[in-house]
Chains A and B, each alone.
Chain A
């Protein structure tokens, strides 16, 4: 059908694996990536996080990037994930194809800036890293590794960023501007983020427990994930196989508070409703909700209420996969889009790890244990950011 946006490739790196296969295996085994900080140089090593189990040097070697090139961890992770996604789709970016790269990040090159900031101000030894501090520069490092992209852009809406990248990519294809878009996000752990979230007092010192009555905050994670989106025509022309389609997406603003979600879940409710409206699906058609579910007191209650607002008495299975990957902030939207698509393809529901105690306010219980051999046709993935930037995306099997 014309105007359809198809997904033809997935790439993901996170604390639970550096490939789609590893990620799937971890989800099926109930294996979490959250643990003791190994790579980030910080005084807060006692705060559990989920890191990618590769050093920058290892990633450079895997990607044949010489040590002399100024680069940051966010870009390296992004290149790894985008490379996997392009290989999965069997696409090499080139000028004959109208192909775009849309990435997202919250703090861009901060990982190097926070190490070299004194040098930035006091001497000229690290000037190359000033140039790659801004968010767009990180995206261009990734795009330039491959070459061939004719449209490149970067979105930053905190923890919903990469969901908005997927939505923009889909709009560009629907309007016939591009044939193919690699869309997603990347964010490495930084002291800036770790300390920032710490000042907000929303980091759990133990393993996070999304949707549990005793939840006490989130665990940060790092990750990168991209989807290859293509027009139906392009998929047909190159005789490729689509994994699923982007059925709908909605973006709404909670506009309640800069860092808190509203008690009535207004923005989240609207985002899910808009996504359903665009897809033409009824709430009862949704087979699985991959929740934003950060594990903070505020998010899980607000999101839970929003899910109840939209789905009423027939709430589909819900789970948060943040206890596996940690909260990968800007990358969370695309990381969880990949997980949602894997759940649909493989017919399983990822368990909501660490859940034990029912929240009094919620009428539903998250998926307690892994369930397999299910027919999953439509999945909804929620991504909510600071400032009330709420986005929901629906992926559907191609009938």
Chain B
């Protein structure tokens, strides 16, 4: 079975939406940062957009952009991952409820606060009656969405799918995050939509060979080897590993150990210094991985070492969240 990446839309802290390939990095000095947004008028009518929060507007924009790039008319499935959904609307409803003592509340913020609003707003916008689902499992929400898409492809239930990872940052949530985060990571936000198809053509970025999400694996090194083995590969076959290094010393140690032990001679890359860390930041890693293969290039600002990425035939995207949730995505060039 082959599953091919046919289009990607990416709104991030970088100029990834308007530009093709690898835009020059934008570096931030402040700690509260927001995405570089496009003009949403090109994707949503101003009347519709008026009541929509950022996360929904971005999701519709990246969804439409990835679909347009793929040339596919309508996806068979829409599957989204989001850690917090529209946290902005959730906070608005919650604050109003508390401040007004459960009185004088308006339905709009409540309606938009449910996590599945993102997937369903995309569906309503596209008029897509296909399979529609939303994963909300913290730091692996995007990977869970991709896992379900791969299962549906494997079961021959779909031929195309729109998979995405969507999260937004708000001033209040940023404040809360700083209370519970011990890490030195940059907090971010982003919206990545990916069009997948069981058919490849000249537009194809790369193939997704396999994905696996693991919960508290006893030995991640053995788990990675077993994952590669199940897919007919060895660690030595990888040309590059893209790591979720985010500045958190304890968490980064896991990446560094794995990279040294299994992929010592290979090229290593990272991306969270560009995207920031958020529940669905692996979506940005997915964008980077697909583009590295498509353009047969590893831009210097993501390289972690000077090892050659060879022919960029095989790529492993490896991410973990708080050393609890792990994800492995195996890409290959077509």
Contact = CB atoms under 8 A, between A and B. Distances in A.
Nearest to A329: B114
A26 interface: no
Nearest to A250: B131
Given A117-B98, A168-B148, A256-B124, A270 B84 contact: no
Contacts of A155: 133-136
Interface string A174-217: 11010000000000000110011011100000000000000000
A174 B130 contact: no
A208 to B, nearest CB: 20
A29 to B, nearest CB: 34
Contacts of A127: 179-180
B233 to A, nearest CB: 18
Interface in B35-56: none
B131 to A, nearest CB: 5
A198 to B, nearest CB: 7
Contact of B144 (A117, A124, A153, A158): A153
Interface in A138-156: 139-140, 143, 149-156
B129 A255 contact: yes
Nearest to B91: A117
Contact of A253 (B132, B138, B148): B132
A48 interface: no
A44 B155 CA distance: 47
Contacts of A117: 94-95, 98
Interface stretch (B17-25, B213-221, B293-301, B308-316): B213-221
B110 interface: yes
Nearest to A197: B110
Contact of A175 (B95, B117, B155, B176): B155
A157 B172 contact: no
A136 B215 contact: no
Interface stretch (A238-246, A288-296, A381-389): A381-389
A255 B148 CA distance: 20
Interface stretch (B99-107, B238-246, B247-255, B259-267): B99-107
A130 B84 CA distance: 12
B102 A195 contact: yes
B305 to A, nearest CB: 32
Interface in B196-236: 213-218
Contact of A195 (B110, B120, B124): B110
Given A153-B140, A255-B128, A266-B129, 6 more contacts: A117-B95, A134-B136, A135-B136, A139-B137, A172-B151, A253-B132
23 contacts: A44-B102, A106-B114, A127-B179, A134-B279, A135-B137, A136-B138, A136-B141, A152-B137, A152-B325, A153-B135, A158-B116, A168-B133, A196-B105, A196-B107, A200-B110, A255-B123, A255-B127, A258-B120, A266-B129, A386-B111, A386-B117, A387-B124, A389-B116
Interface of A: 42-44, 95, 105-106, 108, 110, 113-114, 117-118, 120-121, 124, 127, 130-131, 134-137, 139-140, 143, 149-158, 164, 168, 171-172, 174-175, 177, 191-192, 195-196, 198-200, 251-259, 266-267, 270, 385-389
